[in-house]
Amino acid sequence: MQNEAAILTVNQAIIFAIFGLAMISFVWGRVRYDVVALTALIAAVLLGVVQSADAFMGFSQSAVITVALVLIISRAIQNSGVIDRLAGPLESVSDRPLLFMAMLTGIAALLSGFMNNVGALALLMPVAISLSKRPSQILMPLSFGTILGGLTTLIGTPPNIIVSNYREQITGEPFGLFAFSPVGGVLAFVGLVFLLLVGWRLIPRKRKPPQGETAHFEIKDYVTEILVPEDHPLINEQIFRLESLSDGGIQVVGIIRGATKLFGNLRLRHIRKGDILMIQAGPNVLQDFLAAQKLELAGADEFVEEHMTSEHAALMEAVVLPGSRVEGRSPRSLYLRRKYGANLLAIAREGTPIQDRIGRVRLRAGDVLLLQGEPSTLPDTINDLGAVPLAQRALMLGQSQREDWAPLCLFALAIAATALLGVPVAIAFAAAVVGMLLFGRIDPQKLYQSIDWPIIVLLGAMIPLGDALEKTGATVLIADSVVSTAGSFGPLILLAIIMVVTMTLSDIMNNAATAVVMAPIAATVANEIGSSQDAFLMAVALGASCAFLTPIGHQNNLLVMGPGGYRFGDYWRMGLPLEILIVLIGTPLIAFIWGI
């Protein structure tokens, strides 16, 4: 017995060390969270706290499958054009800021209850930016609204699915589809009222998106027209020769040749007499280049933004998603012109345009990009890069889109099958996805592009680690410490402590990882004090989803940071009172509904 106790103690030390290092890495943010989780899992296997046979059992869990299916269905509904009908009513009240904010955040919360909240934000962010006079006042409440909406249903956010899956492991029954609604619905409503009456007033008024409130970029600040003299040695040379003279500091994004405008991949085009070249370059690089090559501006007053568009070219702004394939890479390494026929004209970071050579800048999540490309393919290019479009510039040709109600109807049938017939969520949603495939509503070639694979890998890797936390006795050790320290205050205070600790962790690391760690701890605490496990698990689910203090706590907070011109410290101004409000109302509400 002494040897077993010694082995157990060693295993506890190992699992605590692994989780500690993983949390530090999550907060540090230099290594993507899925890589951190997978590294932690491999370390746990090599050190013997996770059996090799159990290493990848997380990927077979219904929680992981359900998250993937929700992402696929959300993308299908997003692409169907049905949700775009919401833009009409919003436009009619855009001149009444408070009503506009109420409708926008309310719709965002409703959508987030039934689809991926990043997808809900991606649908509504362009509407908010294009219709609001001050996007910085509306984007943070919009982000918070999507997070609040996720509290209301099982499928609204990954932590709810993870907690439900854990409940099934320990009791044999998961939470129902609308089990979260009594508490989550009230908190979402209270949170939205707070955002409308108080929250938006706490955002610093001086915050502005790049280049003001109406546009993220002024094209004239990034693109210059130069005239190539008739006797210049570059005449009849190809464009790539001119670009090579600047060591990658400039790129030709368009050519005006008489009445014709040429765009796309211009590298092999020849320079002709009388050509006006549209050059993307920073101000310092441009001046040195013009002087060295004896070129001249076509006329500072002649540049107009319409020169950058035609029936074959459009401008679009997009924001880089966390975990996208371009994160950490430079634009030069993406070969945008060769692969997509697109040009990157400008980058803004935290509300400030980057003036360096943008071809060498390492892209980060939340960066706002200004892209030029073919109108029919530019949205697909943005999606392939792992970004979401912001408001399209007024000069982009409108693309008519036929509304398709089939994905929404199939989704509604899946929800009905779960709620009324008791069909497991993963089975019902899988049937909906198969139906969309059979009816041609999902392109099989793009099926798996809808899935946020870093989240799937994170969940699949963290679930065995959470299991190891229990098997080594580490969960009981933590629960014993919590109960011995605060148990005398009663179950209601312990419930509040669990929610606050979960919220705090979720603000600095991924919310799904937080739910995996905290669910077994909360259930063990409930067991030790003889209280309701359901109440404590509900506190974990709600706390993990309420990440309002920082931009890194939730993807949506990071996505609005650049377009809104926010700083890191702006979030707690509105987020801290909102989290306090949720704890003060949520704790007794959980106790009343679920019992403690």
Distances (CA, A) of 425 to 67, 81, 118, 413, 415: 10, 25, 20, 12, 8
| Residue 321 amino acid letter | L
The confidence score (pLDDT) of residue 209 equals: 57
Q: 227, exposed or middle or buried, with CB in 10 Å at 0-12, 13-18, 19+?
A: middle
User: If pLDDT is split at 50, 70 and 90, which confidence band does 308 have?
Assistant: low
379: pLDDT strictly greater than 90? no
Element holding 190 (H helix, E strand)? helix 181-197
Asked if 31 contacts 25 with a C-beta cutoff of 8 angstroms, the reply is: yes
213: pLDDT strictly greater than 70? no
1: pLDDT strictly greater than 50? no
Query: What are 573-585's pLDDT values in tens digits?
Result: 999 999 999 999 9
**Residue partners of 491: CB distance under 8 A and separation at least 6:** 529, 531, 591, 596
Q: What angle (nearest 5°) sits at the alpha carbon of residue 365, between those of residues 364 and 368?
A: 85
- In terms of DSSP bridges, do strands 314-320 and 251-257 run parallel, antiparallel, or are they unpaired? unpaired
Residue written as token pair 């937080």: 514
Query: What are 348-370's pLDDT values in tens digits?
Result: 887 677 766 777 788 988 888 88
- In terms of DSSP bridges, do strands 352-353 and 343-349 run parallel, antiparallel, or are they unpaired? antiparallel
Rank 120-124, 300-304, 535-539 by mean pLDDT and report only the highest: 535-539
**Residue partners of 280: CB distance under 8 A and separation at least 6:** 222, 223, 250, 251, 252, 253, 343, 344, 345, 346, 358
Mean pLDDT of the chain: 85
Sign of CA dihedral 28, 29, 31, 37: positive
559: pLDDT strictly greater than 80? yes
User: If pLDDT is split at 50, 70 and 90, which confidence band does 134 have?
Assistant: confident
153: pLDDT strictly greater than 80? yes
Overall pTM > 0.85: no
The confidence score (pLDDT) of residue 80 equals: 84
399 versus 24: which is more confidently predicted? 24
**Ramachandran region of residue 113, left (φ > 0), alpha (ψ -120 to 50) or beta?**
alpha
Q: Where are the alpha helices (DSSP H) in 472-570?
A: 474-486, 491-508, 511-529, 533-545, 555-559, 561-564
208: pLDDT strictly greater than 80? no
Length of the chain: 596
Task: Tell me the C-alpha distance between 298 and 310, whole Å.
Answer: 20
Task: Tell me the C-alpha distance between 559 and 387, whole Å.
Answer: 10
Element holding 587 (H helix, E strand)? helix 571-594
Query: What are 478-524's pLDDT values in tens digits?
Result: 999 999 888 889 999 999 999 999 999 998 888 999 999 999 999 99
| Residue 444 amino acid letter | P
545: pLDDT strictly greater than 90? yes
Task: Tell me the C-alpha distance between 577 and 452, whole Å.
Answer: 31
Query: What are 324-353's pLDDT values in tens digits?
Result: 888 888 888 888 878 888 888 888 887 677
Taken in order of first residue, the domains within the chain and their CATH numbers are 2-31+464-594 (no CATH), 63-210+422-453 (no CATH), 219-308 (3.30.70.1450), 314-389 (3.30.70.1450)
171: pLDDT strictly greater than 90? yes
Nearest to 590 by CA among 184, 191, 113: 184
Question: Quick one: average pLDDT of 154-160?
Answer: 93
Q: 376, exposed or middle or buried, with CB in 10 Å at 0-12, 13-18, 19+?
A: exposed
